[in-house]
Amino acid sequence: MTARKQQLLKRHRRNKRLFMLVALVALVLLGLLVAWWLVPLSLVLGWIAHEAWFADHLFYRPQDDYCYAFPPDALALPARLEEDRLVVVEGDIGMAETLILEVRVTASRLGRLFDPQVWIGDDRQDFERGVDGRRYLNLSGQQAALRDGSLRLHGRFCTLAGTATLHALGNPDYAERRLLIVAPHADDAELAAFGLYSRARDVAIVTLTQGEIEAERYRRLGLDAAAAARFKGRLRTWDSLAVPLWGGVPQSRCVQLGYYCLQLPAMAAEPQRPFGSRESGETDIRNARRHNPLPLPGDADGAPSWRNLVADLGALLEHFRPEVVVTPHPELDPHADHVAATRALREAVAGSAWRPETLLLYANHLHDNDRWPMGPAGGGIALPPAIEPLPADGLWSPGLDAKTQLDKAAALAMQHDLQAPLAPKRRLRRLIQQLLAGRRWPATGADEFFRKAVRRHELFWVRPCGVGAPADRAPGLEQTGRQPLHAMIAADFHTPAETP
C-alpha cells in the first residue's frame, strides 16, 4: 500500500480505538448505575449495529465532494431534472459515448441506514450512506433516451439536486486498436477489462507476478509454508495463461513474467538487485515462464530484478506493438504492485523502439472506499471517490451486455485466488447486512469482486502515453543499425523460452 493508504488506515484504527474506549466507559457506568444485564445486551446489540452499518472502510466523510477535472475537449453541458426527467438545457452531446453527470446527491433519513440509490432508467448506482455532496453518475449507454427526452432519474433513500452538469467525452472504440493489457497479478486483467479484451480484435496480456503469497489455505493439503506458496504460484501462473482463452485470447497472446508478489517496489528502489519470493523460497523467474510464447531478456539469468522487468516489458512492446496499453491507475489504485507495474511500463516505453499512443488506466483497488463500485452486481459504475484532485484525464466507459457480464463472472470463477470460501465472520456479517441493511450479493461467487467487477460498464481513464507517437521504426534506427526486438524474435514466436 502507498504511504497515504497507510496513513488513512492508521487514522481509522486510532479513531476506532478512541470510540471503543468511550463505549467501554459508558458500558461500565450503565452496569453500575442501571442494571448489570444491560451490559451484555448492549454489547450484542452494538456488535450487530456495527456489522450492519459501520463495518465499511470509508476513509472520508460522506459529506465530502468528489473532485474531478476533465480534459479541455470534454463537453460540459448544463442540465436539469424536470419531474425526474433529465433535460440538457443547452448544447448537444454529439457523438460522445461516455456521459458523466455531475450532481449533488443528498441522503434522506433512511439513507443513513440503507445505501442511497440513484436509478437511471433501468440502471442503479449506489453511494455512501449519509451522502451529501457532489457525485458523478455514469450515464454511458443512455444516449438514445437522453436525446429523446425520456431518460428518467430518481433517488431512493436520497434526493438529487435540480441542476447538474453533463460531461460528454468522445473516444474511439479502443477494442478496434492493438491492445496490450498489463496485469500485475493473475485476475487483474479479468477484473478490469474482460469485457474489453473479449471483443478486441488484436490483444495481448502480460502478467507480471506469480501471485504466490498468502497461501495459507493450501497448507491443508499437507504442504509446508514454502511448498504451499510454490503451489499457489503455479496455479495462478496457469490462471494467467489459461483463463483469457475464455474471452477469446489464446495462450500464444498471453505472457507470464514470473516476478514475485509485493517485491516490485523493492525492485524499483534497487534496480540491479534480485528480489526472490517472500514465501516460496524461489529466486529464479524462469520456473514460471516455461509456457511463454516468446523468449524475453529476463530469461538469460532468471533474476527477479527491476532491470529485467523493464527490459521484458520493452521487448513485449516491440513485439506486440500495441497502440493502446491498459495498465493500473498510478494515482487511484494504491496497491504497491499496481503502482510499480505502471512505473515499470513507463520506463519501458521511454527506452523502447515502439511508442504506444494511449494509456487506458484502471483501478481494481481504492485508497478511500473498499466497497467501490458500491451497490449490487449488474449495476453501472459511478466514478469512484476522488477527495484529492486527480489529473484531468479523459474517461471511457464501454458497456457490457448481460451475456458478457455472465462470461466475466465465469472468468472470475476460474481464478483460484477468487475461489476461497468466506470466513464465518464475513458470512455472518453479510447475513446481518442482508437482513438489516438490504444489501445483496450475486450467486456467481462469494468473493467481493463478483459484486464489484461484474457490472454493466467497465471504466478506464484515458491518458496520452506522453513519450511520442507510435511508429513502425523508432527514429535513428537506421543510423544505429539496431534491429527492433520484435523482428529479432519473430521467428521464435512459437518456441517457449528455455528453462533450466
Structural domain boundaries in the chain: 3-54, 75-169, 176-365
- Cell of residue 318, nine digits: 516491440
- Cell of residue 149, nine digits: 427526452
Per-chain mean pLDDT for the chain: 90
Which pLDDT tens digit goes with each residue over 184-238?
A: 999 999 999 999 999 999 999 999 999 999 999 999 999 999 999 999 999 999 9
User: Which amino acid, one-letter code, is at 11?
Assistant: R
Query: What pLDDT sits at residue 2?
Result: 54
In this prediction the pTM is: 0.88
Q: At 136, is the pLDDT very low, low, confident or very high (cuts 50, 70, 90)?
A: very high
CATH topology of domain 75-169: Jelly Rolls (2.60.120)
d(CA 190, CA 254): 13
CA–CA–CA angle 234, 236, 238 (5° rounding): 70
Query: What pLDDT sits at residue 496?
Result: 33
CATH topology of domain 176-365: Rossmann fold (3.40.50)
Residue 470 has pLDDT above 60, yes or no: no
User: Looking at per-residue confidence, does 373 or 19 come out higher?
Assistant: 373
Phi/psi-derived region of residue 335, left when phi > 0, alpha when psi is between -120 and 50, beta in every other case: beta
pLDDT mean over 100-123 = 97
Determine what percent of the chain is predicted with pLDDT higher than 90.
80
Query: What pLDDT sits at residue 17?
Result: 73
- List the single range of 10-19, 238-247, 312-321 with lowest mean pLDDT: 10-19
- List the single range of 86-90, 195-199, 264-268 with lowest mean pLDDT: 86-90
SS3 content of the chain, % helix, strand, coil (to 5): 40, 20, 45
